[in-house]
Amino acid sequence: MTKVLVTGATGFVGRPLCEILTQLGYEVRAAVRSGRPLPAAVGESVVVGSIGANTSWDEALEGVDSVLHLAATAHIVHDASRHEQLYFDTNERGTRSLAEAAARHGVRRFLYLSSIKVNGEGSGDHAYSPSDPPSPQDAYGVSKWRGEQALQEVAGRSGLEAVIVRSPLVYGPGVRANFLRLMQWVERERPLPLGAVNNRRSIVYVRNLCDLLARLLSHPAAPRHTWMVADERDLSTPDLIRSIGKAMDRPVHLLKVPLPLLRLGGRLLNRAAEIDRLCGSLTVDSELTRRELRWSPPVSTADALEQTVNWFMSENSPGVARS
């Protein structure tokens, strides 16, 4: 049985991924920071502590054939500038440390979950592709790009097969941050000043992402490439809100506020970055992924949004216990 080491196994992507890998017949070992409850699909775990340049990986990598590196530092909202070093400690130096240890242990393949933020914050009319020059705009994006470079450098001087996946926003049951906030706004039937927005955004359902990661573990074309991933169709922000409202059976109130006024309000309220994400376009070109890997997202956008909303509504139903 092929043994796979998964970092970030207790996270939003890691939990369903471990389940899928086990169903496919892989033996899953989780590298965890502490003794948190593990997904039922995880066969064993090794506590490695915080991920950085000095993390000891020897025990975790013993007998491992492939590595799926999901763990990362992300979404530092408060005092982000003061904590930028955490991005580089984990996402760059931690990735290099794990890649070097994997090469020493004879690991065959190393999958690194990166981010579309390596390409930039806004694609305009041109969907980002793997061949576009990276242009990260913040510390997180730069750290993920440096993590990619570190992995490629290690692979270039060893037998390690490097596989990189750049993902846009990931959603699904258990989602947090901006996507959760958007569902909360719709559920409360709040008027939203986004009716004049005419953009396109790529998103990916968590199980679609996991399905691709599982395929890349064994596909002969996977190594030495950067793969883009997205759901079957892109959505504008208003279309996403309407789709959420339809799945919730809630009326949606979209006010057509002119974009310059909306952006001005974002700056005045110190929420310019959030408004930019809601108004700007960020799309990825996953055509190469679909063609070369003969892959397509197994869950449609409509079904994925419905499943996400069903989770959200069940979590917010009266009488549901909160931990």
Domain boundaries, the chain: 3-174+203-232+283-299
Q: What proportion of the chain, given as a percentage, has pLDDT over 90?
A: 79
The pLDDT value given to residue 86? 87
Write out the catalytic residue numbers.
140
3 state SS for the chain: CCEEEEECCCCCCHHHHHHHHHHCCCEEEEEECCCCCCCCCCCEEEECCCCCCCCCCHHHHCCCCEEEECCCCCCCCCCHHHHHHHHHHHHHHHHHHHHHHHHHCCCCEEEEEEEHHHCCCCCCCCCECCCCCCCCCCHHHHHHHHHHHHHHHHHHCCCCEEEEEEECEEECCCCCHHHHHHHHHHHCCCCECCCCCCCCECEEEHHHHHHHHHHHCCCCCCCCEEEECCCCCCECHHHHHHHHHHHHCCCCCECCCCHHHHHHHHHHCCCHHHHHHHHCCECECCHHHHHHHCCCCCCCHHHHHHHHHHHHHHHCCCCCCCC
pLDDT in tens, 252-310: 999 999 999 999 998 988 888 888 889 999 999 999 999 999 999 999 999 999 999 99
The radius of gyration computed from the CA coordinates of the chain, to the nearest angstrom, equals 20
Binning pLDDT at 50, 70 and 90, where does residue 322 land? very low
Distance between CA atoms of residues 55 and 52, nearest Å:
6
Bigger pLDDT: 148 vs 42: 148
Burial call 30-42: b when 16+ CB within 10 Å, e when fewer = bbbeeeeebbebb
How do residues 14-44 score in pLDDT, each as one tens digit?
999 999 999 999 999 999 888 667 777 788 8
Is residue 100 over pLDDT 70? Answer: yes
Place of tokens 């914050």: 121
% the chain with pLDDT above 70? 95
pLDDT for 318 equals 56
Mean residue pLDDT of the chain comes to 92
pLDDT of residue 34: 80
Q: Which fold has domain 3-174+203-232+283-299?
A: Rossmann fold (3.40.50)
pLDDT tens digit sequence for 150-209:
999 999 999 899 999 999 999 999 999 889 999 999 999 999 999 999 999 999 999 999
Q: What is residue 323's predicted lDDT score, i.e. its pLDDT?
A: 36
Span between the terminal Cα atoms of the chain, in Å: 37
Average pLDDT of the segment spanning 65-94: 82
Is the model's pLDDT at 12 over the cut of 60? yes
Q: CA-to-CA distance for 284 and 106, rounded, in angstroms?
A: 33
| Residue 208 CB burial class (10 angstroms; 0-12, 13-18, ≥19) | buried
